[in-house]
Amino acid sequence: MKHVYDNYPAEKLPKDLRNGLKRGERVRVIVEAMEQRGRSHAASENGGKRHLRAFWGAGRGLYNGSDDAVASIRALRNEWE
């Protein structure tokens, strides 16, 4: 759930959130629950399943090129032989 408070007086914010704000300023405050245990909100609504696009780019930088990726996959496959 998400709550948005427009034109909220900055002096009502906790001291650590007022850092850099001037007295008398008005702000927008957005309150939103954080994800729990690494599961996204969409995944929890969808029976724990995530759309394939959620994994896009997850392995970026893991390999030094396609040859390295193929060699790694073959090594994993060969563990079972």
* DSSP annotation string for 19-59: TTPPTT-EEEEEEEPPPBTTB-HHHHHTTT---GGGGTTTT
Is position 11 within any domain? yes
> How many structural domains compose the chain?
1
Is position 60 within any domain? no
Each residue's pLDDT tens digit, 16-56: 898 889 889 999 999 988 876 555 555 556 667 777 877 77
Distance CA 19, CA 58 (A): 35
Number of residues that this document lists for the chain: 81
pTM of whole model > 0.85?
Answer: no
Distance CA 76, CA 28 (A): 51
Residue 12: strand, helix, or coil:
helix
Is position 48 within any domain? no
Is position 16 within any domain? yes
Distance CA 28, CA 4 (A): 7
Residue ranges making up the domain that contains 27: 1-35
Is position 62 within any domain? no
